[in-house]
Amino acid sequence: MKTNKIIYLDHAATTPLDPRVLEAMQPYFTEDFGNPSSFHSVGMRAKDAVAEARGTVARLLGGHEDEILFTSGGTESDNLAVMGVPRYWHEKNGVLPHVITSAVEHYAVLEPLIAMDRKKEIELTIVGVSREGQISVEEVMSAIKSNTVLISIMTANNEIGTIQPIAELGREILKYRKLHATTFPYLHTDACQATGFLDLNVEKTHVDLLTLNGSKMYGPKGVGVLYVRRGVKVQPMFIGGGQEKNLRSGTENVPGIIGLAKAFELVQAEREVESARLSTLRDRLAQGLLSIPKTILNGHPKERLPNSVNISFIDIEGEAAVLYLDAQGIMVSTGSACASTSLDPSHVILATGLSYEAAHGSIRFTLGHSTTEEDVDFVLRVMPAIVERLRLMSPANLDMKYFA
Amino acid sequence: MQGDVIAKKEDKGWFYTDTVKEHFFHPKNFLEDEAAYGDAYLGMVGSPACGDAMKVYLKIEKDADGLERIKDFKWKTFGCASAIAATSMLSVMVTEHGGMLLEEALKLRPQDIMLRLGGLPARKIHCSVLGDKALRSAVNDYYRKSGQIDKISLEAGRVIDHVLKITDHDIEEAVLEGADTLEKVQARTKVGTGDPSCIPEVENLIRFYKEKYFGA
Ligand code: FES
């Protein structure tokens, strides 16, 4: 059952560039290559193009152009939000700022916050999640203190696909601010994984800061967005030429910015049709995989991204499974400790209350534009044999009652 | 952290050598028929770093000269590609050429397996230690059952931190997990937090195990 076809099911890691995006970017490498800060017409053309891209992103988010910052990607946007807000506030007020986040956030949010907490730059509350990976809005709200400046909760999880009740949280925060006549806390959300699937209009979700990443939306790598609502102050990390309203110095990545705007436009326009198509494939894949004995679905059964299937295959180790799947041309990822540089299993799967063993055997399949029904059926054909073979090699034989 | 037998190409695509891949995709001697090995000598260990586990089933016979040789080595492992490949290779090494002398087998070092595999990525070195330890544990089982109690090498370890009861093995495992400084070892073991007097000794051990496993 050998095939030469590559079945790429790792779209949460990164997406291929949409050819339409490449086309939009192309002129900005060699023809309109100018520096937007220059005062000649070559520079002006680049400046106009960036302005137009900014307008597109603003419109799609339901915000204003002056609220859009272009960055180098999701990590920078997340860092700038979670480090920049408390630092600015601290400098202004001299009081220790308090930040609330969740245990399943991306490391680009968790790591800087944990480091700042350790250095006593902030006070940090990390709320847990349900077995399905969802935060409780009530729990977040009751963690708010007088010095809470920021709440950072992702829109949808990159590992298990669980969608968080961001709009509900946004509404509650708004109520809280009104009641206490304060502008804090702000709400930041990392929406990288949700970009192609959900409505990210900030007027509907009431978020104050929002992270996007070009490389998760069929756009280029190395470019991202941080939406920063008017009035929200962040301390910059890059200091220099004063680009991006002094908040992010450095010559603009013009082709990247053009590409991100184009990609964002395309995925948002096709969002509903693609979500419906992928949901069907997702459910077919999940159902088929769950018919293999000793398997558990990670993430929320319903409130889950249309492209996300994460399954724990008990008694096997994920890295080995990933490599066996790779040999069949199927590209996936795992939450196994063995596959991580730190040798720690997925913090997301552990946060949902599952054991090390379940995190070890977790495999993430994330679907995308290229995914077809044949792809799904091919995975369903080869997976049982791979699991069976690895289980034969494994000394583990855990009772499923521990995973109920 | 760089060692002598680490694959150089770690950052370029597939970081496993062809030999590793061969043993991973076509593992030798893994135990399929457990019932046939009911009377084999059994060794079992867990990996320090990632909570993985391994079982080894040994058959030992005396040769014409009355020397103990490994006649059969079967295994099961819950671990990554490196763990599977390293154990597969170990099983080949101890059973080839009519079976390795028990004495020699006990002298095998993780490095010997890695050399035969053409190297492993640095963070995967601990996986090759797993098979080695399981072999030792199975040999101990043999010594126990054959009445050679004096030969059993107990891996109980020497207590270094008397407050937290941390042994030299705990330090060894931390180093294998990639902790190469006192701070990193402490982050994993808390060694010395209750008994700071042992810290010089801990630092010594870290140097020793780094040298042993990573040649640094
Ligand atoms: S067994 Fe876990 S990393 Fe090799």
Structure tokens at A250: 């450095």
Q: Is the CB of B124 under 6 A from ligand 1?
A: yes
Question: Tell me, what DSSP letter sits at residue B190?
Answer: -
Neighbours of B20 (CB within 10 A): 26
In contact, A153 and A187? CB cutoff 8 Å: yes
Least-confidence region, from A127-136, A204-213, A326-335, B205-214: B205-214
Pocket test for ligand 1, best of A319, A340, A394 (most atoms within 8 A of CB): A319
Out of A224, A244, A266, pick the residue that ends a domain: A266
ipTM score over 0.90, yes or no = no
- What is the pLDDT at residue B51? 63
In a shared domain, residues A336 and A232: no
Chain position carrying tokens 């968080």:
A164
In a shared domain, residues A219 and A188: yes
> How far, in Å, CA of A18 to CA of A275, rounded?
17
In a shared domain, residues A178 and A261: yes
> How far, in Å, CA of B51 to CA of A229, rounded?
45
- What is the pLDDT at residue B6? 40
* CATH architecture classification, B159-214: Orthogonal Bundle (1.10)
In contact, A160 and A298? CB cutoff 8 Å: yes
In contact, B64 and B76? CB cutoff 8 Å: no
Distances (CA, A) of A192 to A59, A137, A216: 17, 21, 6
The residue whose CA is least distant from atom 2 of ligand 1 is A338
- What is the pLDDT at residue A4? 66
Query: Domain of A357: which CATH number?
Result: 3.90.1150.10
- What is the pLDDT at residue B7? 41
In a shared domain, residues A41 and A133: yes
> How far, in Å, CA of A47 to CA of A173, rounded?
37
Out of A266, A298, A326, pick the residue that ends a domain: A266
In contact, A55 and A65? CB cutoff 8 Å: yes
> Of B121, B118, B80, B95, which Cα lies nearest the Cα of B29?
B95
Residue A158, phi then psi, degrees to nearest 5: -75, -25
Ligand 1 atom nearest A338 alpha carbon: 3
Q: Which fold has domain B2-151?
A: Sufe protein. Chain: A (3.90.1010)
pLDDT digits (tens, 9 = 90+) for A8-40: 999 999 999 999 999 999 999 999 999 999 999
In a shared domain, residues A329 and A251: no
In a shared domain, residues A25 and A63: yes
B78 SS3 class: strand
pLDDT digits (tens, 9 = 90+) for A143-200: 999 999 999 999 999 999 999 999 999 999 999 999 999 999 999 999 999 999 999 9
Cis ω for the linkage preceding A97 (within 30 of 0): no
Conformational region of residue B183, where left means phi above 0, alpha means psi within -120 to 50, and beta covers everything else: alpha
In a domain, A2, yes or no: no
Interface test with A, best of B26, B37, B80, B188 (most A CBs within 10 A): B80
Marked catalytic residue, from B100, B127, B191, B206: B127
Residues 6+ apart with CB under 8 A from A19: none
By CB atoms closer than 10 A (0-12, 13-18, 19+), residue A91 is exposed
DSSP string covering A309-338 = EEEEETTS-HHHHHHHHHHTTEE-EE--GG
Q: Give percent of chain A with pLDDT exceeding 70.
A: 98
> How far, in Å, CA of A224 to CA of A195, rounded?
12
In a shared domain, residues A296 and A255: no
The total number of structural domains in chain A stands at: 2
Using only C-alpha atoms, chain A has a radius of gyration, in whole angstroms, of 22
Out of A248, A266, A284, pick the residue that ends a domain: A266
Distance of CA B13 to the CA centre of its chain: 27
In a shared domain, residues A355 and A296: yes
**Record: contact B78-A343, CB cut-off 8 A:** no
- What is the pLDDT at residue B5? 40
By CB atoms closer than 10 A (0-12, 13-18, 19+), residue A14 is middle
Identify the residue with better confidence: A354 or A53: A53
- What is the pLDDT at residue B148? 81
The residue whose CA is least distant from atom 3 of ligand 1 is A338
Structure tokens at A162: 């669980």
| pTM, 2 dp | 0.87
- What is the pLDDT at residue A327? 92
Structure tokens at A370: 């290229």
The residue whose CA is least distant from atom 1 of ligand 1 is B79
In a domain, A107, yes or no: yes
- What is the pLDDT at residue B127? 81
In contact, A99 and A113? CB cutoff 8 Å: yes
Distances (CA, A) of A372 to A93, A97, A378, B140, B181: 55, 48, 10, 54, 49
Identify the residue with better confidence: A340 or A43: A43
DSSP string covering A105-144 = S-HHHHHHHHHHHHTTSSEEEEE---TTS---HHHHHHT-
Task: Tell how far the Cα of A394 is from the centroid of ligand 1, in angstroms.
Answer: 13
In a shared domain, residues A173 and A253: yes
- Average pLDDT value over all residues in chain A: 95
Q: Is the CB of B45 under 6 A from ligand 1?
A: no
- What is the pLDDT at residue A27? 95
In contact, B54 and B44? CB cutoff 8 Å: yes
- What is the pLDDT at residue A384? 97
In contact, B191 and B198? CB cutoff 8 Å: yes
Look at residue A322 and tell me whether its pLDDT is greater than 50: yes
Query: Domain of A119: which CATH number?
Result: 3.40.640.10
Distances (CA, A) of B56 to A274, B37, B190: 50, 10, 32
Structure tokens at A324: 């066996």
Residues of chain B in Cβ contact (below 8 Å) with chain A = 24-25, 27, 30, 32, 44, 49-55, 76-84, 123, 127, 177-178
* Cα nearest neighbour of A315 on chain B: B78
Structure tokens at B85: 């490949």
Residues of A in contact with B127 (CB under 8 A): 338
Evaluate the CA torsion angle B174, B176, B182, B183 in order and state its sign.
negative
Interface test with A, best of B28, B30, B50 (most A CBs within 10 A): B50
Domain that holds residue A235: 19-266
In contact, B168 and B158? CB cutoff 8 Å: yes
- What is the pLDDT at residue B190? 80
Q: How many CA atoms lie within 13 A of A399 on its CB side?
A: 2
Residues 6+ apart with CB under 8 A from B125: B3, B6, B110, B114, B176, B213, B214
- What is the pLDDT at residue A211? 98
Domain parsing of chain B, residue ranges = 2-151, 159-214
- What is the pLDDT at residue B3? 34
Residues of chain B with pLDDT under 70: 1-14, 47-51, 153-157, 215-216
> How far, in Å, CA of A243 to CA of A220, rounded?
21
> How far, in Å, CA of A140 to CA of A132, rounded?
17
> How far, in Å, CA of A195 to CA of A213, rounded?
9
- What is the pLDDT at residue B14? 55
**Record: contact A395-B79, CB cut-off 8 A:** no
- What is the pLDDT at residue B132? 81
Chain position carrying tokens 């995989």:
A289
pLDDT digits (tens, 9 = 90+) for A274-320: 999 999 999 999 999 999 999 999 999 999 999 999 999 998 999 99
Residues β-bridged to residue B60: B70
Residues 6+ apart with CB under 8 A from A94: none
Neighbours of B3 (CB within 10 A): 17
pLDDT digits (tens, 9 = 90+) for A191-225: 999 999 999 999 999 999 999 999 999 999 999 99
**Record: contact B123-A341, CB cut-off 8 A:** yes
